[in-house]
């Protein structure tokens, strides 16, 4: 169980090119890694398939998130298709809440919704990562995370399929460390 009091949480957002980028990052983590919450823009119905695929490939447990799922070490929770996901406090523990809503930054689920909740609930104990993707979703939320003391990482232009989301985040001062995709997991581990 994860108390709301001090354990690290890793929060990741991605869009176009994100399937391969996430695999590159997540494959280096173990069952002892702090919990990971992530939002990726995928076609409707694909997040369950993607979560099941990652669960077979990785050392961590991966699942499409459902409201009430707790953040535990060795677990990856992926925002479900067509629902936003946010981190909430529940009886002294951190959990996720998944809910239908309007698109934010043209996205449902939205990385900003996730990152802003992590900024509020986890603050300086979070690591935020923004990966390849079109548009600006996640940039504002990553900036809020950095403002609240979280460590923040953006994927570099050279290794991004689309240098949109990380570029906007970098330009607004949300990114503390900009790295190629093959260096991001090691940086997260060093920050933890």
Of the chain, the end-to-end C-alpha distance in Å amounts to 18
Domain for residue 3, yes or no? Answer: no
Domain for residue 1, yes or no? Answer: no
Question: How many domains, the chain?
Answer: 1
Strand partners, 78: 38, 64
How many of the other CB atoms lie within 10 Å of CB of 102?
7
Q: Which of 115, 120, 144 is nearest to 130 (CA)?
A: 115
User: Measured between alpha carbons, how far is residue 75 from residues 10, 59, 68, 126 in Å?
Assistant: 11, 9, 14, 15
What phi and psi values does residue 176 have, to the nearest 5 degrees?
-85, -40
Per-residue pLDDT, 97: 98
Domain for residue 15, yes or no? Answer: yes
Per-residue pLDDT, 7: 82
Domain for residue 141, yes or no? Answer: yes
The CATH number covering residue 148 comes to: 3.40.50.180
Domain for residue 100, yes or no? Answer: yes
Domain for residue 153, yes or no? Answer: yes
Domain for residue 95, yes or no? Answer: yes
pLDDT digits (tens, 9 = 90+) for 18-37: 999 999 999 999 999 999 99
Residue 3's pLDDT band, with cuts at 50, 70 and 90, is: very low
Runs of H (alpha helix) within the chain:
18-26, 46-57, 111-121, 139-147, 165-171, 181-191
Rounded to the nearest 10 degrees, the angle between the axes of helix 46-57 and helix 18-26 is: 30
pLDDT digits (tens, 9 = 90+) for 123-147: 999 999 999 999 999 999 999 999 9
Per-residue pLDDT, 5: 54
Per-residue pLDDT, 35: 98
More reliable by pLDDT, 4 or 148: 148
CB distance 46 to 8 below 8 Å:
no
* 3-class SS of residue 74: coil
* Cα 88 to the center of its chain, rounded Å: 15
What integer is the mean pLDDT of 66-88?
Answer: 97
pLDDT at 73 over 70: yes
Would you name the residues annotated as active-site residues? Answer: 15, 41, 137
pTM of the model: 0.96
Domain that holds residue 96: 9-191
pLDDT digits (tens, 9 = 90+) for 84-126: 999 999 888 999 999 999 999 899 999 999 999 999 999 999 9
pLDDT digits (tens, 9 = 90+) for 40-52: 999 998 999 999 9
Domain for residue 2, yes or no? Answer: no
Strand partners, 164: none
Per-residue pLDDT, 1: 42
């Amino acid at each position: 169980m994860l108390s709301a009091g001090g354990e690290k949480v890793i929060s990741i957002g991605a869009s176009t090119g994100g399937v391969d980028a996430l695999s590159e990052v997540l494959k280096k983590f173990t069952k002892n890694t702090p919990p990971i919450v992530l939002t990726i823009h995928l076609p409707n119905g694909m997040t369950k398939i993607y979560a099941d695929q990652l669960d077979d490939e990785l050392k961590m447990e991966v699942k499409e998130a459902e409201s009430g799922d707790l953040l535990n070490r060795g677990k990856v929770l992926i925002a479900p298709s067509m629902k936003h996901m946010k981190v909430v406090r529940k009886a002294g523990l951190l959990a996720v809440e998944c809910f239908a809503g309007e698109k934010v930054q043209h996205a449902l689920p939205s990385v900003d919704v996730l990152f802003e909740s992590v900024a509020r609930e986890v603050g300086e104990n979070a690591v935020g990562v923004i990966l390849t993707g079109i548009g600006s979703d996640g940039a504002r939320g990553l900036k809020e995370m950095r403002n609240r003391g979280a460590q923040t990482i953006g994927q570099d232009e050279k290794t991004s399929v689309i240098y949109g989301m990380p570029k906007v985040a970098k330009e607004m001062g949300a990114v503390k460390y900009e790295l190629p995709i093959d260096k991001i997991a090691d940086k997260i581990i060093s920050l933890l």
